[in-house]
Amino acid sequence: MAIVEFKRIETDAIYSQVIDQVLALIRSGVLTQGDQLPSEAELARQFGVSRSSVREAMKALTVLGILESKTGVGSFVRESHPSDAAFALLEELAEEGGPFEIMEARLLIEPEIASLAALRRTAPDLEAMQRNLDANAELVAREEPIMEVDLEFHLLMASASRNPALADCMRMISSRMRKGFWKLMKGESLRVRGRPSLYLGHHRAVFEAISEQNASKAKAAVTKHLRAVSEGLEE
């Protein structure tokens, strides 16, 4: 393992600055292909940040092929000369917010959206959501990408809440979820066998609660789904 020292981080966009320091050491040759990075706990100590921030940074670098994660062993430098495309996605991460920041916002907002949707939904809302679920089921059966239809379900739920401010918040979040970095990480997560059908089942549970106008059940179902999505991104 290469012996390196990292600087403490004291500003916002923590994961982005963790990434910057790791990349700087790779580009300068201090860390080279095959070198092992310190453990997650040690990196958190050196950077002076939470382990979740380190985990997000390591996940980003791994998804982009710059690091390689070996279960039970650690993270290793895989690519000493990252591509321009990788740097473009990392810049996007810094500007738009990381996937875990997006999930944090969703966990704060969407359970309340679901609760209101259960109380205020109309027959056309339910019809639109049912069509979405049917389309999702067809894609799952054909093993085709579900990302866009998955996102549409959440936007339909926001529309059913009849709260324009919350619907606008969800549209803003969804615009970030259409960016390259989120799509890259969510796409990798959805390639895990059985996960698309799992998420479809979650959506059906949310729909059922909204159909029944059971606000607490809808809120709990959305929370369960989003926590599963967040855990899937971390794997």
Over residues 27-55, the pLDDT tens digits come to: 888 988 999 999 989 998 998 888 877 88
Query: What is the pLDDT, as a whole number, of residue 234?
Result: 78
Confidence of residue 111 (pLDDT cuts 50, 70, 90): very high
CA distances from residue 79 to 34, 38, 40, 62, 170 in whole angstroms, order as listed: 9, 17, 19, 10, 36
Residue 19 confidence (pLDDT) above 90: no
**3-state secondary structure string across the chain:** CCCCCCCCCCCCCHHHHHHHHHHHHHHCCCCCCCCECCCHHHHHHHHCCCHHHHHHHHHHHHHCCCEEEECCCEEEECCCCCCHHHHHHHHHHHHHCCHHHHHHHHHHHHHHHHHHHHHHCCHHHHHHHHHHHHHHHHHHHHCCCCHHHHHHHHHHHHHHCCCHHHHHHHHHHHHHHCCHHHHHHHHHHHCCCCHHHHHHHHHHHHHHHHHCCCHHHHHHHHHHHHHHHHHHHHC
Residue 187 confidence (pLDDT) above 70: yes
Over residues 57-100, the pLDDT tens digits come to: 888 888 778 899 888 888 999 877 777 777 676 766 655 567 88
Residue 128 confidence (pLDDT) above 70: yes
Are the folds of 14-95 and 97-234 the same?
no
Pick the CATH number of 97-234 from 3.40.30.10, 1.20.120.530, 1.25.40.20, 1.10.760.10: 1.20.120.530
Residue 233 confidence (pLDDT) above 90: no
Q: What is the pTM of this model?
A: 0.75
Domain residue extents for the chain = 14-95, 97-234
Query: What is the pLDDT, as a whole number, of residue 80?
Result: 73
Mean pLDDT value of segment 135-160? 96
Cβ-based neighbours of 144, under 8 Å, separated by 6 or more: none
Q: Domain 14-95's class?
A: mainly alpha
Residue 1 confidence (pLDDT) above 70: no
For residue 31, give the amino acid letter: L
Residue 148 confidence (pLDDT) above 80: yes
Query: What is the pLDDT, as a whole number, of residue 179?
Result: 75
Confidence of residue 188 (pLDDT cuts 50, 70, 90): confident
Query: What is the pLDDT, as a whole number, of residue 183?
Result: 75
Name the residue with higher pLDDT: 183 or 3. Answer: 183
